[in-house]
């Protein structure tokens, strides 16, 4: 059985699947630690430093031939091509993912500098990064600083086309079936990081978030059209 890398995009409902996969490969599995960034940096510089270190951890785990690796780590086509591993990921409607991410930050990582309401948050620089997580994870571009969005969208689509399985949180059972086919055995049923379901957005606020998440929407829609989408 080939090794498996699970790219876990935040707030896509993937904690349960990641934990279940690691139980499936209990004798050879690992996650990727968080908080590896340079403490001397802050803001986006700190985030990028953290993810650069996660890239190094992923490379080390691949070199050690750990059978199952799951974590919040960006996709690197060079590591994929040289490793022989199968890659999987789980996506979610970008608007719902954005709203969930904001409320998660407010619950788990409160910051007095962060806007206290979702309506105010969408106007901030942090929101532009949070709104473009698919761009960040699959094209290695940050929304606020991306200079060539069409090229980045093409790169994200090309990268996702290399995945063995792309799930959608709207159909978790379909993703579970796909993982079963890849691993050969059913996964244990786990429930991690359950959170209150945000109220349905309507009107002007929803339109603003749709505009903010437009790049991720393009990546999400293109991924759902791929043959390996569950």
pLDDT digits (tens, 9 = 90+) for 167-189: 999 999 999 999 999 888 778 77
Q: What is the pLDDT of residue 190?
A: 65
- pLDDT tens for 3-53 read 999 999 999 988 888 888 988 899 999 999 999 999 999 999 999 999 999
Q: What is the pLDDT of residue 88?
A: 97
Does the pTM exceed 0.85? yes
When pLDDT is averaged across residues 85-91 and rounded to a whole number, the result is 97
- pLDDT tens for 131-167 read 999 999 999 999 888 999 999 999 999 999 999 999 9
Q: In the 8-state DSSP scheme, what is residue 113? A: T
Residue 197 clears pLDDT 80, i.e. is over it = no
Question: 198, 215, 192, 191: which is closest to 129 by C-alpha?
Answer: 215
Q: Give the chain's domains with CATH numbers.
A: 4-224 (3.40.50.300)
When pLDDT is averaged across residues 187-196 and rounded to a whole number, the result is 66
Alpha-carbon gap, residue 195 to 104, rounded angstroms: 8
Write down the mean pLDDT value for the chain: 93
The beta strand positions in the chain, using DSSP E, are 4-7, 29-31, 68-71, 86-91, 165-168
Q: What is the pLDDT of residue 193?
A: 60
Backbone angles phi, psi at 4, to 5 degrees: -130, 135
């Amino acid at each position: 059985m080939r090794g498996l890398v699970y790219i876990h995009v935040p707030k896509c409902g993937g904690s349960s699947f990641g934990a279940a996969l690691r139980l499936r490969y209990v004798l050879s599995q690992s996650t990727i630690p968080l908080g590896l960034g340079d403490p001397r940096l802050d803001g986006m510089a700190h985030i990028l430093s953290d993810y650069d270190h996660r890239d190094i951890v992923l490379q080390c785990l691949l070199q050690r031939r750990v059978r199952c690796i799951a974590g919040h780590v960006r996709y690197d086509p060079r590591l994929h091509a040289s490793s022989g591993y199968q890659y999987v990921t789980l996506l979610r409607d970008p608007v719902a993912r954005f709203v969930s991410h904001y409320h998660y930050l407010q619950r788990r990582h409160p910051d007095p500098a962060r806007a206290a309401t979702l309506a105010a948050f969408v106007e901030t620089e942090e929101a532009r990064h949070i709104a473009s997580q698919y761009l960040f994870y699959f094209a290695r571009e940050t929304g606020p600083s991306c200079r060539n969005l069409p090229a980045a969208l093409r790169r994200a689509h090309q990268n996702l086309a290399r995945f063995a399985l792309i799930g959608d949180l709207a159909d978790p059972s379909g993703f579970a079936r796909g993982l079963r086919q890849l691993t050969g055995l059913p996964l244990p049923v786990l429930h991690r990081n359950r959170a209150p379901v945000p109220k349905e957005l309507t009107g002007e606020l929803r339109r603003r978030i749709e505009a903010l998440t437009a790049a991720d929407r393009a990546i999400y829609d293109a991924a759902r059209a791929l043959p390996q989408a569950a």
